[in-house]
Structure 1
Amino acid sequence: MAGHGTDEHPHGADRLCDAGDRVYSRAVRRGRVARRDAEPVPCLLELALLHPDPDDMDWLVPTAPQEVMTRLLRGVYDEVSASQRRVGAAVAAVERYAGLGPATQAGPGVGEGAAIRVLDGLSRIQAAMDQATEACTTEVLTVQPGGIRPEHELTEGLHRALALRGRGVRMRDLYTHVARHGQGLLNYLELMGGSVEARTLDEVIDRLILFDRTVAFIPANADRTLALELRHPALVEYLVTVFERLWRLAIPLTAPLPDTGIEGISHREQSIAALLAEGHQDAVIAERLGISVRTCRAHIARLSETLGAASRTQLGVRIAQVGLDGPRHPADVAPSVTLPGQESPTVR
């Protein structure tokens, strides 16, 4: 129609004109819009936001907002060096339109963007987790980093765990060794009975939750207010493989931690010694083992005292001398290891 060409609509799909916004919003809400109503906004057809309904050519149907987002972001990333601000504009626009339509289950017909979904905010993360819990029928695998699980974290997820147990879903959880000392975790496992099996490692990967080996959730920022919901089969299978290999190396929560074979050196101090030998700072070691920096430094001080080290440099030497600078197993420990202070007075 004359007078309504693209010259009057100099914009992209990330920032529609007012008229285009109204028509596209109506199309998303209702599932289609009459062709005559879209004539004043040819930009929607030119931007492929609307396309003819194959069942009735007098109507136009909207392109799914998720597909629009995929297309927009691909173009934005190509131009990111020139204008990074377009990324935020594209996501904001599509999120707003996506909220107008009915919620849909992710599946083959949703579009390629459904394989990876960004969940922004704790409420959206919680809602997606609840939805995955309701759909789960067989198995849940989780990795829980950090140290002793706070009571409020265990309480927040308890309703999901009880719902899963009620449907006979089996759960396997991986924690750090430090989590063994939390009474809240022990109470949780007792409540869940045989439906949950827990194992521990010196250190684990960042938080991971897998439902039925078809959908995974991982954090997308440091404070975990942003998460990724992954449904791409290759990605999910990769994460399952990572979990299974960690699980094989982990120690059942009901079994004691192996002895280091060196008198006066605990299993945790052995782990700290190995990370010290790799050159890590106290804060990094604490984070990886799920303990506080203060606790980490207390263990380092005890290591120094036990090994007779007067400085950090000397501690590194002593760690190497007694073989604490790498992974150890009880079978690898020599029958007798002499520590500083236990040798003959003439030996230095």
Structure 2
Amino acid sequence: MTTNRSIETHHHSVTELCDDGSRLYGTALSMGRISRADVETAPCLVELGFLHPDPDDSRWLRPVMPFTALAQRLHPLEREISERRRLATELTDVFTPFMAISAQATGPTHAITVLEGVELINGSLNRATAECRSEMLTVQPSGRRRADILVKALERDKSLVERGVRVRTIYQHTARHSAEILGYVDRIANTKVEIRTIDELAERLIICDETVAFIPASDDRQIALELRHPGLVRYLIKVFELIWGRAVPLQAAAPYETALDGITEIQHSIAKLLVEGHVDEAIARRLGMNVRTCRGHIAKLSSILGSGSRAQLGYLIAQSGILEQHQ
């Protein structure tokens, strides 16, 4: 009786998926199906569209793939966001003449604006995005991005390409293993969005047209700088183009292919940082991967070079000449 009352009152939004629901949905995805009896404590999985009846056996339920479930939940939100984007564009058109007057009146004093707080930073980014008419350039360090951040990026990029804006983004090579990023890429396929990856990136960068650039000003990303000085923006565009020229298109497999010496490009990057004296945690952070993955690559390097210790590995890397071969 207690179970029935629990089921009757078991209602919540998808953003508050309960512990039982999370656990059982994961089990269903791993096994390919789950029995109806097993999910009695989490009727939300059926109500929210995470599970559907097995057409071959009514005793079982099959999981809806995460990206399909996400798309179903996002559809009404996408319509709402599109409408708000339209209103934002209309408001921007109203205020554009006044912005021009303000720019002439204030001169260079607003070339650098300090933005403090996520809300203020996002508001400035949204305005710059709404005003963008030609091209947006972005640099995104780290191999993973949170799903909610990618949802916002997807809406932003869809709005841009619908207006004919070209979008170029640089991730780190480890992004190629991120299910979230690969799902985002599938949804913007066949558009004017181009993605490349590289082994190491310094910091985040966003540039709209040749007008405004945003860079972080604190490690916790609570403070950012909005740059509108033409010289600074041109300089950052040149930096972006330099990195873009060295980066590899996402569709290419080169970053993880094994070279003639048996070592991948990622492992060469790790070898370089090892010789420079960086510890595992610092190497992982700089290359956008977790520490376990980093140590796995270090173990492979040790095996290939015949190293019996960390100190010997650094010596063997330096003596092998592999770093000179990949400069």
The two structures share one fold, judged by TM-score above 0.5: yes
SS of the residue aligned with 2:210? Answer: coil
Q: Partners in 2 of 1:324 and 1:262 — Cα distance?
A: 11
CA contact (8 A) 1:147 1:179 kept: yes
Q: CA deviation at 1:135?
A: 0.5
- CA–CA distance in structure 2, aligned partners of residues 147 and 265 of structure 1: 20
Partner of 1:159: 155
Shift of 1:263: 5.2
Q: Note if 1:311 corresponds to 2:320.
A: no
CA contact (8 A) 1:119 1:125 kept: yes
Q: Which runs of 5+ in 2 are unaligned?
A: 1-94
In the TM superposition, residue 146 of structure 1 has moved relative to its aligned partner by 0.7
User: CA separation in 2, counterparts of 1:326 and 1:217?
Assistant: 35
Is the CA contact 1:277–1:325 (under 8 Å) kept in the aligned structure 2? Answer: no
Map residues 220-239 of structure 1 onto 2, 5 A cutoff: 220-239=217-236
User: 1:323: which partner in 2?
Assistant: 321
Q: CA deviation at 1:149?
A: 2.3
Q: CA deviation at 1:166?
A: 1.1
1:119-268 equivalences under 5 Å are 119-192=115-188, 193-257=190-254, 259-262=257-260, 264-268=262-266
**TM-superposed deviation, 1:147:** 1.1
Q: Quote the sequence identity (%).
A: 49
Residue 111 of structure 1: how far off its partner (Å): 4.0
Question: Hey, what does 2:294 align to over in structure 1?
Answer: 296
Superposition map of 1:10-159 within 5 A: 105=99, 107-159=103-155
For 1:126, what is the secondary structure of its paired residue?
helix
Deviations 1:148-202 (A, max 9, x none): 2221221122222111111010000001100011122222223223210011111
Q: Which moved more, 1:293-302 or 1:218-227?
A: 293-302
The one-letter amino acid paired with 2:282 is V
How far does the alpha carbon of each residue in 1:80-102 deviate from its partner, in whole angstroms, 9 at most, with x for none? xxxxxxxxxxxxxxxxxxxxxx9
Moved beyond 6 Å, runs of 4+: none
CA–CA distance in structure 1, aligned partners of residues 287 and 322 of structure 2: 16
| Counterparts in 2 of 1:225 and 1:140: CA distance versus 1, 3 Å | same
1:90-136 CA distance string (max 9 Å, x none): xxxxxxxxxxxx99736232343310001110100111011001110
TM-score calculated relative to the size of structure 2: 0.65
Alpha-carbon distance, 1:268 to partner: 1.6
SS at 2:139 equivalent:
strand
In 1, distance between residues paired with 2:114 and 2:244? 28
CA distance, structure 2, for counterparts of residue 263 and residue 232 of structure 1:
47
Larger helix fraction of residues: 2
8 Å contact kept, 2:108–2:229: no
Structure 1 residue aligned with 2:46: none
Matched residue SS, 1:272: helix
What is the one-letter code of the residue matched to 1:210?
I
Q: For the residues of structure 1 that align with 2:166 and 2:199, how far apart are their CA atoms?
A: 24
CA RMSD of aligned residues (A): 2.1
